[in-house]
Structure 1
Amino acid sequence: MTDSIDQLLSAMTLDEKVILLSGEDFWSVPSVERLGIGKLRVTDGPNGARGGGSLIGGVKSASFPVGIAIGATWNVELAREIGTALAEEVKSKGAHMLLAPTVNIHRSVTNGRNFECYSEDPILSAELAVGYIEGLQGQGIGATIKHFVGNESEIERTTMSSEIDERSLREIYLIPFEWAVKKAGTWGVMSSYNRLNGTFTSEHNWLLSTVLRSEWGYDGIVMSDWFGSHSTAETVNAGLDLEMPGPSRDRGQKLIDAVHSGTVSEATLDKRVRAMLRLMERTGSLDDHRPHHEEAQDRPEHRALIRRAGAEAAVLLKNDGILPLTPGARLAVIGPNAKRAQIMGGGSAQLNAHYRVSPWEGLVAQLGEQRLSYAPGCGNDRFEPLLRGTFEVDYFANEKLEGEPVHTGTQEDAQAFWIGNVAEGKVDPLHFSARIHASFTPERSGTHRVGIYSAGFAKVFVDGRLIADAWANWTKGRTFFEEGCDEVVGAIDLEAGRTYSVTIEFATKNFATLGLAAFACGIGLPLGEADIAEAARIAGEGEIAVVFIGRNGEWDTEGSDLPGIELPGRQNELVAAVASASPNTVVVLQTGGPVEMPWLSSVRAVLQAWYPGQEAGNAIADVLTGAAEPGGRLPQTFPVRWADNPAHSQDREVYPGLEGKVRYEEGIFVGYRHCDRLGMTPLFPFGFGLGYTGFALGDLQLETSRFEAEGELVATVTVKNTGSRAGSTVVQLYVSDDVSSSPRPEKELKAFAKVALAAGESREVTLKLDARCFAFFRAEAKHWLVEAGLFKILVGQSSADLPLSAAVTRNTTLMLPV
């Protein structure tokens, strides 16, 4: 802390101090002009920098691979590189802080936000978070690690209490945050929406003051998630520095009154303000008085990085030699994700990308269109396909569509996410109505489905006829962060080539937690048996069939968990039909997590490509053709079936939650730890992935001279590329404590290294372990404990492939502070 912060703090009035502790609007904290204090601006999100616009539209931004894709790279240096690039993106949007990274643990396989998080494993998540944060903050942009803590499900997340014992918190869920503080020095932490053991995390004194600040020595700020603050004195006293967004609901005059009444002391208030000033100094916003300006900077170096990272994230799950694709082969390109670029998940992480490259476009660029044929086969939409185009919108300064419009504008596509400034400020963003004028020309005749879902009241008319009504009987559902209704669908017969007028009427309604207004409208003609048959036909005519299936950002999204992990729609039927028609079938998956694969034995290769950002199609084509190595390894265990994951239970309180509580009954046994505990063989194990070359590990050696005194050791292992081309692997080290006074997992990941080698090259890899790598947390004694006895060191290339082992023994116990 500099002298200037002391001087500013002493010069501030009570009103000025309070101003800095809540947002001015959705994306900024007010300036204090009298003292020359500039305005702090923040922006979402983990896979790009959206700027101050809506989740839909706005200034264009670079779309990077999502969190689980970064997790799949197991590459800390790449995470640092991405963080550095994102700092440039944040600066292009005139902001000082990025609301990222997201490090909640993959507790279940159905969490809608798993795509945004790195891994089921705390050490992998923590290592990647440290690299990402160091990349960001090395360029002067503040990181905001989130969501602190226990937000592993999107179901009733703004009210649900995550019931987690302290040992599980310390050993699993807190570790990425702890490392972000202790190793990366993060400048920001965002509290989660949920309660933790009955108390909102935004006012959780033990979490924010005892653990975060006193035990870990944190000196940054804690901000609320948007609308995630629920009180005044409680949040300030517990350690929440910043209430977001603005204008304030719980602070402002309420906080001034709390100081006057003594429920918040001036000393506590000054702690909160000092933290804000320190952050503003670190990010440069303290002296930043430039007019706010956002630019769409489509940087060639970012394009190249996104493409390279997308390929390195791709996990080759099965390959009998059909990949890389044979040069000159005729390809049948099939599936709902073939010509649609699935580049990101849904929710606050989404942005208006500079461009989107589909797999079809990527293959055409590399192979030429003359060798390709195409059939969609089936759909995989959760909602009816979005009505696209440029539409005129009339805005009314009331909620009844009455009178003359106060503003007329345009929008791209039949969707809107209105927050903050709406209709150039001519309407109250929470109290207005709008009429959207669109048109639709169907490509085929038939009975079309018209769908609408909205956070607000909405209706859809086609040629003046009411087709879908989400107004008369609006019911809260699982869209728009649980502020919207489920999709309401109507049907109408439409003729190919004829243009129909479409009118959407919308009005705001009272919100539950998040103050927003939104809708999305789609029109679609369902695909059927004939479409699957056509896909099978072209598969039979091609030499190789490549099927692009999976999910999209409607399924993998903030605000809604998945109903299961079976592929949506008729995609399993499609793969079965194609595989029956073509003995050379390759499946490319794009999902934010595991799926069941009943067709696995009937296809020759499976590539998991996740959501790799705006270069999706190019990155996927690079891997399929062999221009790039599939460099990914699974950051999450893929179970055979949904019921095999640790959160699945007949007790609804375990998942998805019951009567306001979700109980983490499995404790520390998440992910591969769960499989080991039950002796369960997963579909694909944690850390698994194939490449286009092979690797051999050998000569494991332990240097243990400091193990007895300090609990530290160094492991070395030799890695050799045994194949004929360059490639990479991940050396993974797990620790096993066979005899313990407390139940422990069979093994736990404690160190790893991504290694790239030329054909035939060998290298010695060094992995360092500290005492915490051997310890478990004793909640009753409030310390970490390394017990006396034998520990096994297991090394290999996945949690199920650990051919190398060595042992080390301690004669004494070692207690470590929190």
Structure 2
Amino acid sequence: MTDAQPHDPTDPTGGPTHPADADADAHAGRPARGRAQDHTAAVERALAALDLDTKAALLSGQDMWTLPAVPAIGLRSLVMSDGPVGVRGQEWNAEDPSVALPSPTALAATWDPGLARRAGHLLAQEARRKGVHVLLAPTVNLHRSPLGGRHFECYAEDPLLTGVIGTGYVRGVQEGGVGTTVKHFVGNDAETDRFTVDNRIAPRPLRELYLAPFEHIVEHARPWGVMTAYNQVNGATMTEHRALVQDVLRGEWGFDGVNVSDWTAARDTVRALRGGLDVAMPGPRTVYGAPLAEAVRAGEVAESEVDDAVRRVLLLAARTGCLEGVPAAVGPDGMPQGIDGRAVAREIARRGCVLLRNEPVGAARRALPVDASAVRRVAVIGAAARDARVLGGGSATVFPDAVVSPLEGLRAALPDDVEVTFALGAEPRTRVPYAREGFTLRARYLAADGQLLAEIPQFDGQVRVMGRLPAGVTRQNLGAVELTGCFTPRSTGRHTLAVSGTGALRLTVGGAVLFDDRCAPDGNDPFEAFMHPVERRLTAELTAGESVGVTLRFVPGGPDLGEGLDGLNFALGHSAPQLDDDAEIAEAVRAAAAADVAVVVVATTDEVESEGFDRRDLRLPGRQDELVTRVAAANPHTVVVVNSGSPVELPWREQVPAVLLSWFPGQEAGAALADVLLGAHEPGGRLPTTWPARLGDAPVTAVTPADGRLTYSEGVHIGYRGWQRSAPAPAYPFGHGLGYTDWEYESLDTTPDSVRVRVRNTGDRTGREVVQIYLAPTADAAPDAPERPARWLAGFAVVEAGPGESAEAEVPLPDRAFAVWDEGDGGGGAGDGGTAEDGGWRRVKGVYLVEAAHSVDDRRLTAEVTVG
């Protein structure tokens, strides 16, 4: 028998502490008591040496990513960078590549906070390498509706799972000496009108659901930062929400870190400061700095309020080693070192894979894993098989040095005598993908007279700069940018090329000018014009193997992102010669029929799933559903890999024997997929969010405000809590996921404080099981008990055992699992903002069912526990 690491809410990483931990505080990257006292003294000394103008400036970004240095007090500039799947650094380009981990949904699908902690160690190592002190991550908003456009960047629909995975992530990053900013506090659960929407959330769901992950992370990981959201909650913008920031986050929970605004979210100097906002980003022009100093001199705010915010910024500097004369929270000897980024990315990708379905093929064994010794031809089908979508769009974008596609991964892993064929099948994109395969590109930044200012290698055909141009380049001296290099086609015929950008564009291929014109935006929104510029398409007849020179010259023509915020976004797209849609699908069907196994990779695109907008539906783009149906009819051994960051409808799921969800799998996508498909490793993932059969079945679909407001009328019934009240069953429930072995749940012992579950591996190979513990009220509940969901997740543990072996998991039951937020006599509806002081936590007495489960709908053992 083996023992599982228990899910202990006081140590949710599920693994041993790092050897360098000096005491319990070090688990979260916190300084020991003596070091904390040193930090306090150093902060007070530094503060005393600052005048009002310098203090006000310290609370305002000096540019897109940094705070100003103050050499007189030994303060270095604090550098922030986007995450959460990598560390981009201050440059939005491929000059300094980043490890690209799988999407947060994939990390949450592992249900393993210890693995999240290791991911944090890697990201801290990446941040130190890039000179970054604070990572703008993790994102712990909830999957309220499957239409949420940024769900790939969040963890789960359940607050406990979100909080536990987020705690592991924060601990790991801060153990590496790098700060985190847990975001977006709070209620940023959709993208539609996110800058202005007023989310009306009653106190009980606000406390039990949306605030709960933040509270868990503050209590168990002590983050050094939090980022407040753009949106309003109950009438107050989050950058000015004193009740939630000052009273709850700082007062009730004891958060001692920095509160930084989401970029451009701060709107009013006085209200922001009094609401608890410490840092307004980005700079140099914000509501802080000079306007804040003027407000103090005008008597609108007290200098002591400014001092409190500066103290927190200086404490962050001390913790990250940016304040001289005091040791950082984690010294060099205590930091995890020498982490293999590719190995971590590959492990998370395969551990996060969720095997949704795995049925026998005829009278033979189950479709997965594929026996490589028994096949001679494998057909790999789908645009995403060749060009994997490895990460989500928007601020989560990083630039890996290389990406392993599913096609490449399978070709590398299969024996040499197995033929691997490829067919496109169905093109899911409406825009031409960025030039990548066969291209070697660099961006040359030129002055008006042609002088070379900077030259940077390009990962693909997109040149995007946000916030800071390359060293030596300014808006004043930049005349043009040339994306240039060579292209070696793999196929002969008519290739499609595309140019996009706002300004003058000239494309030259093989010495011939194919395009020379100005491109203007379609609308009046400068940010939309910047992020999604107009595309123009062209064609060129090219020959396989014959390299041609390619140059796309761009002279910027807007849009202006604002004072001091440098921005460029233009691109070269490329698509190889291909048949029309009907012919491409027919070719894929022929390839599948001639193969022993067909692997179809279907995917979303950044046109339908990305930051900045919500999804309109859950359908796969293009004719991918038709492709799967026709391939499955041609080959009974069809495996479908779903490459999306969040749920999509799978109308053909009963027609194929195997469906594997890979999420956005990071740079090692193909290597990890081959590990799982060929059985070198088991797919270890369990769904962190419910997958509907149809969008209309989902309990919550409203993400569009009415008259500026979005009312969370469903209360506490989101995700599986809501599904349990609706008639249609989902396609796949919360917690679902299959492995390559089977588990028998043998015994369940429980007390009001903990649960002990024994499980046995009844299969023929080693495997992992996620033991999930749910609580359900019974008919014997107290007569005054409030309405509650049918059941809710109370804890979980990951166990591992070999064939025939048993494993035992002990899962604590925290008091909060039996408690509800009692709104008190005042009620507290969604519109009154009564979230800080009204009401309190109340333990609900009565008899509960304790359920040990494989998923929320696959409950194996039950017991009763009485709570007094």
TM-score, normalized by length of structure 2? 0.85
* Counterpart residue number, 2:348: 309
Change (3 A) 1:18 1:457: same
2:774 alignment partner, SS class: strand
2:588 alignment partner, SS class: helix
* Counterpart residue number, 1:815: none
Q: 1:685 and 2:733 equivalent?
A: yes
Q: Which stretch shows the higher mean deviation, 685-694 or 319-328? A: 319-328
Residue pair 1:61, 1:298 contacting (<8 A) in 2 also: no
Deviation at 1:242, TM superposition (A): 0.9
* Counterpart residue number, 1:629: 682
Change (3 A) 1:408 1:275: closer
**Alpha-carbon distance in 2 for matches of 1:408, 1:720:** 61
Gaps (5+ residues) in structure 2? 1-36, 328-335, 360-365, 828-837
2:642 alignment partner, SS class: strand
**Alpha-carbon distance in 2 for matches of 1:393, 1:3:** 49
Q: 1:670 and 2:715 equivalent?
A: no
Q: 1:353 and 2:400 equivalent?
A: yes
**Alpha-carbon distance in 2 for matches of 1:30, 1:288:** 18
Deviation at 1:491, TM superposition (A): 4.9
Within the candidate set 341, 359, 363, 2:410 is matched to 363
* Counterpart residue number, 1:123: 160
Q: 1:47 and 2:85 equivalent?
A: yes
**Alpha-carbon distance in 1 for matches of 2:692, 2:123:** 33
Residue pair 1:438, 1:502 contacting (<8 A) in 2 also: no
Q: 1:800 and 2:853 equivalent?
A: no
**What root-mean-square deviation, in Å, do the aligned CA atoms of Structure 1 and Structure 2 show?**
2.8
Deviations 1:301-349 (A, max 9, x none): 3222221221111110111111110122121111112122332111111
**Alpha-carbon distance in 2 for matches of 1:263, 1:674:** 46
Q: 1:10 and 2:10 equivalent?
A: no
1:678 alignment partner, SS class: coil
* Counterpart residue number, 1:421: 468
Q: 2:397 corresponds to which letter in structure 1? A: Q
Residue pair 1:685, 1:798 contacting (<8 A) in 2 also: yes
Q: Which stretch shows the higher mean deviation, 725-734 or 343-352? A: 343-352
Residue pair 1:418, 1:429 contacting (<8 A) in 2 also: no
* Counterpart residue number, 1:603: 656
Q: Which stretch shows the higher mean deviation, 242-251 or 656-665? A: 656-665
**Alpha-carbon distance in 2 for matches of 1:394, 1:216:** 49
Change (3 A) 1:475 1:537: same
Deviations 1:583-620 (A, max 9, x none): 11011111101111111122110110112222111111
Q: 1:520 and 2:577 equivalent?
A: no
Deviations 1:89-144 (A, max 9, x none): 11111122211111111112122211111101100000111111111112221111
Which aligned pairs between 1:712-791 and structure 2 lie closer than 5 A? 713-738=753-778, 739=781, 741-779=785-823, 780=827, 781-791=838-848
The percent of aligned pairs where both chains have the same amino acid is 38
TM-score, normalized by length of structure 1? 0.90
* Counterpart residue number, 1:646: 699
* Counterpart residue number, 1:507: 557
* Counterpart residue number, 1:333: 380
**Alpha-carbon distance in 2 for matches of 1:285, 1:556:** 38
Q: 1:254 and 2:286 equivalent?
A: no
Deviation at 1:624, TM superposition (A): 0.6
Deviations 1:242-295 (A, max 9, x none): 1122213211111110111121211111110111111111111112999xxxxx
Deviation at 1:520, TM superposition (A): 3.3
Deviations 1:758-806 (A, max 9, x none): 1111122111112210111122351112233222212211010112222
Count matched residues: 781
Which aligned pairs between 1:526-565 and structure 2 lie closer than 5 A? 527-565=580-618
Deviation at 1:425, TM superposition (A): 4.7
Q: 2:353 corresponds to which letter in structure 1? A: A
Residue pair 1:481, 1:560 contacting (<8 A) in 2 also: no
Q: 1:342 and 2:389 equivalent?
A: yes
Residue pair 2:795, 2:811 contacting (<8 A) in 1 also: yes
**Alpha-carbon distance in 2 for matches of 1:429, 1:191:** 34
* Counterpart residue number, 1:495: 541
**Alpha-carbon distance in 2 for matches of 1:287, 1:369:** 58
Deviation at 1:757, TM superposition (A): 1.2
Residue pair 2:91, 2:468 contacting (<8 A) in 1 also: no
* Counterpart residue number, 1:98: 135
Within the candidate set 580, 605, 614, 2:633 is matched to 580
**Alpha-carbon distance in 2 for matches of 1:376, 1:289:** 58
Change (3 A) 1:529 1:406: same
Q: Which stretch shows the higher mean deviation, 222-231 or 406-415? A: 406-415
* Counterpart residue number, 1:710: none
**Alpha-carbon distance in 2 for matches of 1:537, 1:474:** 42
**Alpha-carbon distance in 1 for matches of 2:51, 2:232:** 34
**Alpha-carbon distance in 2 for matches of 1:312, 1:795:** 22
Q: 1:573 corresponds to which letter in structure 2? A: E
**Alpha-carbon distance in 2 for matches of 1:6, 1:25:** 26
Residue pair 1:483, 1:511 contacting (<8 A) in 2 also: no
* Counterpart residue number, 1:163: 200
**Alpha-carbon distance in 2 for matches of 1:131, 1:558:** 24
Deviations 1:477-507 (A, max 9, x none): 7xx9645475645454543439687554531
Within the candidate set 434, 448, 463, 1:386 is matched to 434
1:519 alignment partner, SS class: strand
Q: Which stretch shows the higher mean deviation, 489-498 or 550-559? A: 489-498
**Alpha-carbon distance in 1 for matches of 2:862, 2:396:** 41
Change (3 A) 1:259 1:430: farther
Q: 1:332 corresponds to which letter in structure 2? A: A
Q: 1:718 corresponds to which letter in structure 2? A: R
Q: 1:147 and 2:184 equivalent?
A: yes
**Alpha-carbon distance in 2 for matches of 1:86, 1:353:** 13
* Counterpart residue number, 1:318: 357
Q: 1:114 and 2:151 equivalent?
A: yes
Q: 1:518 corresponds to which letter in structure 2? A: N
2:602 alignment partner, SS class: strand
Deviation at 1:732, TM superposition (A): 0.7
